[in-house]
Structure formats: C-alpha cells, structure tokens
Amino acid sequence: MKWLSRLELKYGRYAISNLTMYIAGLNLAVVFLTYIMFGGDAGKTVSALALVPSMVLRGQVWRLITFIFLPDTYSLIWIIFTAYLTYMIGASIENYWGRFKLNIYFLTGIIGSIIAAFITGLGTTGYYLNLSMFLAFATLFPEHEFLLFFVLPVKVKWLGLLNGVYILWQLSTYIRYGAWYMAAAIVASLINYFIFFGDDFIKWIKLKRQVAKNRKRFFEQVGPYRNRRY
C-alpha cells in the first residue's frame, strides 16, 4: 500500500501510540460513569453517546466521537475482560503494523461507521468498529488461541471465520428482502477491513484458482499414461 507509506512519511509523527489502551480505558470510564450517574442504566448512556444521525444534525456533534467509547458490555465483571481484550488485540496489531497504520485503520473504521449510520438513519455504537479490529487480529494472527468460557482453547481464525459467515448471512438476508441500504451500511462499517485486506484476499483467490488449474492440467496430461503398462 504505497499511499499509506507516503502518508506515514508526512504524518507518521502525529500517530497515537497505544491507541487501544486509551480506547479500553475510556470503555471502563463509560461503564463506571454509567453506574455513578445513571445507576447502571446502560440505555441512558447509549442514548446520550451513541451515533444517531438525527441528533447530530440537531447540533449534538459530539456523537461523532463518543460512540467509539461505548463498550459492548456494561457488566462490571465482563468489562474488565473486554477492555483487556481490546487493549491486547490493538497492541498486537500495533506491534505488527506500527502505530501509524493502526491509527489509519481505526480512523477509516470510524469514517465507515459514520457513513453507515447516515445510510440507515439509525443509531449505532462501536460494534462494527470493534468487529473490524477483531477481524484484523484474526487475519494477522490466525493461530492465536483464546480460552472460550475460560476453558476451551479455540484458535482465533475459527472465531474470525464464524464472524465472517455471520456477516455474509446478514448481507444475504438484507439483499433478499430488498433492504439494500442495510447491506450497504454493513459494507461501509467494515470498509477499513476491505481496504486493508481486500487485496490479500484477491491474491489468495487468484493463487487458489491457479493451483487448481495447474492440478487439473497435470492430471489431464498424465491421465492417458496412468493405466499404461510398460
């Protein structure tokens, strides 16, 4: 990705180190403030911070940023685990890519989520943004193992594959019922993943097709000689 290298030369010094550490910390802060200010009522927090296009157009522009910090859980027990997982995934990707590329990936995901919200007109949280981070981790570190339910070891590539199948099912369902705007919103939400990994998948598919053609050609050439006796 030459364009990314050129951007890094110009703006790399502005990249934030340990980006997901701050995201994880803000996830924790949102949960604790939910209990302090709203007695644990997560609905009120989501109503105040989620990305709702109609509210943004009324002047609540902070929602373009605050939706990023909404956690996937408001359980005081599980938020510790999910915050650590967010940090660990981000730190691993940053060590592999470097801070600038991770920053751009995250920023592109934010832009995609905003576009998706305005396509549908519905409110959104950071769900697909977090999902895009997980998919990137699963693609870069497919053999890494998680302890499912703290007991069962599962390679992250299988979890990533399950998420991929679920996304495809969502897309096919929306398309089947003519809800193209919802399908477009999902694609927009994950545009960062498609931009960063789409070329690799295209090359992988081409390679698989070439291997299949070579195998077919080989068996066609040796086929007449298989049963021949000398």
* pLDDT single digits (tens) 18-44: 999 999 999 999 999 999 998 888 999
Evaluate whether residue 230 is within a structural domain: no
pLDDT at 140: 93
pLDDT at 18: 92
Q: For the domain that residue 64 is a member of, what is the CATH number?
A: 1.20.1540
Structural domain harbouring 193: 11-219
Could you tell me whether strands 145-148 and 152-155 are parallel, antiparallel, or unpaired per DSSP bridges? antiparallel
pLDDT of residue 185: 83
- Cα separation, 130 vs 108, in Å, equals 12
Decide if 75 is inside a domain.
yes
What is the percent of the chain with per-residue pLDDT over 90, rounded to a whole number?
42
Q: Within a domain: residue 4? A: no
87 in a domain, yes or no?
yes
Examine residue 225 and state whether it is found in any structural domain, yes or no: no
Write down the pLDDT at residue 201: 64
Q: What stretches in the chain show pLDDT beneath 70?
A: 149-150, 200-201, 204, 207-208, 212, 216, 218-220, 222-230
Q: What is the pLDDT of residue 149?
A: 66
Q: What are the distances in angstroms from CA 187 to CA 115, 135, 194, 195?
A: 10, 14, 8, 11
- Asked whether residue 6 is domain-assigned, the answer is no
pLDDT digits (tens, 9 = 90+) for 62-98: 999 999 999 888 888 889 989 999 999 999 999 999 9
Q: What percent of the chain has pLDDT over 70?
A: 89
Number of domains the chain contains: 1
SS3 of the chain: CHHHHHHHHHHHHHCCCCHHHHHHHHHHHHHHHHHHHHCCCHHHHHHHHCECHHHHHCCCCCHHHHHHHCCCCCCCCHHHHHHHHHHHHHHHHHHHHCHHHHHHHHHHHHHHHHHHHHHHCCCECCHHHHHHHHHHHHHHCCCCEEEECCCEEEEHHHHHHHHHHHHHHHHHHHHHCCCHHHHHHHHHHCHHHHHHHHHHHHHHHHHHHHHHHHHHHHHHHHHHHCCCCC
State if pTM tops 0.85. Answer: no
Does residue 226 lie within any of the structural domains?
no
